[in-house]
Amino acid sequence: MKNKFYFKENEPLDTLVNYLVSFKNLEAILLDGELGAGKTTLTAAIAKKLGEEKTIVSPTFNTMLCYDKLVHIDAYKLKGDLFAYEEYFENKLVVIEWSKNITNNFRNFIAINVTLETIDNEIYHVFEITKKTINKSLFIETSLEDFFVAIIENNEVTDYIIKEKLVKKTDLFFSVINEVLAKNNLLIEYFDSIYTTKGPGSFTGSRLGFTFASTNWMLHNHILNNHLKIFLTPTYDLYFYQLKTNKIYIKANKYKAYEVSKENEKISINLTDEIEKINHFDYQLFIQDTKGYLSLFKESKDALEEELIYASDPQIGGL
């Protein structure tokens, strides 16, 4: 996700507002910057997006104003912490102007510095995200029997779709991803990272998730100037973590399975006919321990250098 947003005078702040309210676990937005640069304007736009019916006004003389969906604090003349105000925060988004004047106990917050900048003789309101303790990730698993897509905030699955025993994932891949994004009012550029596996498993499925992740990585980082990370791991790492065993069987196709063994951190993979031994991955356990599973993944610094794990040379056609 990019960290700087530019808006002309009186231009709607929709791109930034939609991003901010997309977080389900966001506790606070901390605003600092120049006087008159747009802190209260942003607060009003956020409140409107949340469905707040009352008019948002600056709380300069009141210090704190409470609304149905939002708490608005002006900390310009405050010092110390917000302990005396915290009882009003429950189940509401807290927006604090001049937040650097005080300390806070928020775990999930986004800090934004607001300034005015002149570009080509036009004045722009610039909103720069300077610190963020909440992140949004998209998890995609297409290598295995089931097709699983999840939205994750700070190691917690907030929504997901699973299509069990889906043979041809190509038929539903984009429609399922679009469904979960639309359901949560999300765009792909809202995400900080994409997690997916490298195989082995379904030949076509392994390529689907990886290609989607790597294509978006290149598009956002090299064209759209949005910083998007991708995290990868072999499919068998998920099984070893879940099953606590040193030998697993992953479905390759209707007739074959991959026998994967782990001994002293060394991995051996063999193709076998023993499809009756195929292990099934339990996504409910993944949801219950998302942090543990995500710890298996490593960030890819260059998607173009990554290789999928086919475990056997794919044969298409013949002589």
Give pLDDT tens digits for 170-188. Answer: 999 999 999 999 999 999 9
pLDDT at 22 over 90: yes
Q: In this predicted model, which residue has the larger pLDDT, 152 or 119?
A: 152
- 198, two tokens: 């490298």
Q: Model pTM?
A: 0.91
Q: What is the per-residue pLDDT for 313?
A: 53
Q: Which is nearest to 73 in space by CA: 103, 49, 51?
A: 103
Q: Name the region of 312 (left: φ>0; alpha: ψ -120 to 50; beta: rest).
A: beta
pLDDT at 193 over 90: yes
Counting residues of the chain whose pLDDT is more than 70, the rounded percentage is: 96
**Span 4-132 CATH architecture:** 3-Layer(aba) Sandwich (3.40)
Mean pLDDT of 162-169: 90
What amino acid occupies position 312?
A: S
Q: Do domains 4-132 and 136-300 have the same CATH topology?
A: no
Beginning with the edge strand found earlier in the chain, give each strand of the sheet holding 247-251 in spatial order: 247-251, 257-263, 266-272
Q: In this predicted model, which residue has the larger pLDDT, 184 or 203?
A: 184
pLDDT at 314 over 80: no
- Size of the chain in residues: 319
Q: What is the per-residue pLDDT for 60?
A: 67
Every domain of the chain and the residues it spans: 4-132, 136-300
Cα 230 to Cα 55: distance, rounded to the nearest angstrom: 41
Q: Are 146 and 281 in contact (CB under 8 A)?
A: yes
Mean pLDDT estimate for the chain: 92
- 232, two tokens: 């990868």
Kind and range of the H or E element at 33?
strand 28-33
Q: What is the per-residue pLDDT for 54?
A: 86
CA atoms lying within 13 Å on the CB side of residue 161: 20
Q: Classify 108 as helix, strand or coil.
A: coil
Superfamily covering domain 136-300? ATPase, nucleotide binding domain (3.30.420.40)
Q: Is 1 exposed, middle or buried (0-12, 13-18, 19+ CB in 10 A)?
A: middle
